Structure 1
Amino acid sequence: MTSLTPGMQSEPTFREKKSFKDAFKKGVRQWLKVLPFVILGFIGTSVFVIYPLVKGIIMSFQDYKIMPGQKSEWVGFAHYVDAFTDPIKSRAFFQAIKNTILNTVFTVPINWFLAVFFAVLINAKFVKYKIAFRTIYYLPIITSWIVVAYLFRFLFAAGENGIVNFMLLNVGIIDTPINWLGNYWTAMMVIWTFHIWKTVGWGIVIYLAALQGIPKSLYEAANIDGANGIQQFRFITLPMLAPVTIFIVINLIMGAFNIFPQVYFLTKGGPMGQTEVLPSLIYKQAFTSMNFGYASAMGVMMGLTIFIITYTQMRKIGKQKFL
């Protein structure tokens, strides 16, 4: 056995060199097989994600002109400053922020509660036809936004012909018909109801899948210890669903911030722009007022807000310890 002095290293043997070459060739062959798919994914991401993102940031610093041949003047942070200082723009901007935050505050807790409630109810032993219920609750997700919007416009139509007004008048809850979409708070309530009804099925399906992963032995042990249904739900079901709950809440918050069809198809921001949210205001500034630079600036600020919220929540998930 040859001893090595300090600082000296033995040279790789012929077998080790051959093994390394074989592994390298195998890795190259594997990469060549998947390279076309990786390139397609990279091209798609570059064209539909990276380029629009970078272009939108650049546009936010320009007085962007959409017509070919026109020069887009560089204005720096002028659009960002206008969003907070310009009397007209700032009023609409802060109103949109207020409505977006209100939509998040009202819809996310209700959406989460209904998702947990119906998922646990459908998952109960005494409930039959679980697949049918799962399909019924998921149908609004795949239904067209326009179809649902017209349905809600018909349900909450002003006057006695609206179904909701007709029912409330006949029951005696109200004396005169309510102009649901003509007043700020009633219009916002209709938008929130639309949003919840359209999206709650997603959370139900996710929770139903998560409930299948909870060991039955935990509930059997709890029954032996004399725990009732409420105690089992509080000390077993909710803690075991904690990772899924954080995932669902993050997505609900992102969905609430990105609310657009609910406003555009129901109220178009009315009455008098009072129900505008950030996505609808960005759309109008870009494609109605043709103010693409200002719309891009609001989009950048909205994107940064969503990124910060998501990033902080994901950091909490990484540090969280679950049972």
Structure 2
Amino acid sequence: MTTGYPLIRSLQISFYKWSVLPTQASTFIGADNYLRALGDAQFWTSLANAGVYLLMTVPATVAIGLFFAILLHAKIPGRTTFRVLFYIPVVTSWVVVSLLFKFLFTTDDGAINWFLTDFLHVTQQGVPWLEQRWTALIAVSVLGVWKNLGWCLVVFLAALGGVGEELYEAASLDGANAWHKFVNVTLPGIRGTLLFVTVLQVIGAFNVFPSVLLMTNGGPAGSTEVPLTYMYKQAFSFLDFGYGSAMSFILAIFIFVVSYLQFKFLGEKKEMVK
């Protein structure tokens, strides 16, 4: 009930030109909000930006997380300490790290530009990271990878613990090298976990919000808007709650379809391996 009622209420609002004033009646407009969203170029831009963010973060986060999980799965000195260090960003507030990265990528006084201009001398002028669409998306994506890496690592570590050592021993007896063991033993053994992590990371990419809001606020000129920041502004800046609700359901359907396709195709591969 705690989630069902708000969901149903939001669906109802999406079919209205909703009035926030109790003295004014809300007007039923049917599917107009949905049609408006489908024809809204800014909404499609926000979806495209979320897609770019997905491509920049999900493969990198999953690959790097798996790489370090394999390293930390081995019996190396201080591996517990390294696991804790990798997980610290996960439990750190999104607001705190977003403001930190905004400072790091500031054009004039940012640490990244200082490193590029004064330390490496690869450029004479600072890069306007947060003032251009693509550089801003890169900056936000770097934060996304750094923030989510520890979660992926911990999940992969748990999955690696379930892969039997006897499989690696058998592979060694067959003359398999480290790469062959990874491809033929490790990946099949954690395929279900890999699918789980990838699906959740994709869902998270389409729901990116605080980092974009705090680092770029969707600018310049709305070029870095993502679905949640655009919905947020429509609902709470322009008080167009009906339109914001309609976009939220379109996004939910889109995420559901993408997740279904991931399970369908990657799941089929899993069955083929068996």
- Place the TM-score, normalised by the shorter chain, in its bin: over 0.9
CA distance in 2 between partners of 1:304 and 1:242 (Å): 26
Q: Structure 1's 142 and 97: CA in aligned 2 closer, same or farther, altered over 3 A? A: same
Distance across 2 between alignment mates of 1:144 and 1:230: 37
Aligned residues: 271
| CA separation of 1:162 and 1:64: change in aligned 2, threshold 3 A | same
- Cα distance per residue 1:123-142 (max 9 Å; x no partner): 123x2222211111111110
Over the matched positions of the two proteins, sequence identity in percent amounts to 37
CA gap of 1:292–1:239, structure 2 versus 1, over 3 A, is same
CA distance in 2, matches of 1:73, 1:316: 43
Q: Given the alignment, which residue of 136, 144, 168 partners 1:219?
A: 168
Hey, what's the Cα distance between the residues in 1 that align with 2:264 and 2:12?
A: 29
1:78 aligns with 2:32: yes
Deviations 1:98-151 (A, max 9, x none): 1011111221111111111110111123x2222211111111110011110121
Secondary structure in 1 aligned to 2:158?
A: helix
Partner residue, 2:116: 168
1:314 and 1:54 map into 2 onto residues whose CA distance is 27
Match of 2:212 among 240, 256, 263: 263
TM-score with structure 1 setting the length: 0.81
**SS in structure 1 opposite 2:101?**
helix
The runs of 5 or more residues in structure 1 that have no matched partner are: 1-45
User: Could you tell me which residue of structure 2 aligns to residue 19 of structure 1?
Assistant: none
1:1-323 matches, cutoff 5 A: 46-47=1-2, 49-85=3-39, 90-125=40-75, 127-159=76-108, 161-170=109-118, 171-315=120-264, 320-321=270-271, 323=274
CA distance in 2, matches of 1:61, 1:304: 16
Q: What is the CA-CA distance between 1:198 and the residue it aligns to?
A: 0.7
Preserved CA contact (<8 Å) 2:95 2:214: yes
Instruction: Report the aligned-residue RMSD.
Output: 1.4
CA distance in 1, matches of 2:265, 2:111: 45
Structure of higher CA gyration radius: 1
- 2: distance between equivalents of 1:187 and 1:109? 19
What displacement does 1:317 show?
Answer: 6.6
Aligned equivalents of 1:234, 1:314: Cα separation in 2: 21
Indicate the structure whose relative CO is greater, using CA pairs within 8 Å and at least 6 residues apart: 2
Letter aligned with residue 165 of structure 1 = N
Structure 2: give runs of 5+ residues left out of the alignment: none
User: For the Cα contact (< 8 Å) 2:95–2:211, is it kept in 1?
Assistant: no
Using the size of structure 2 for normalisation, the TM-score is 0.95
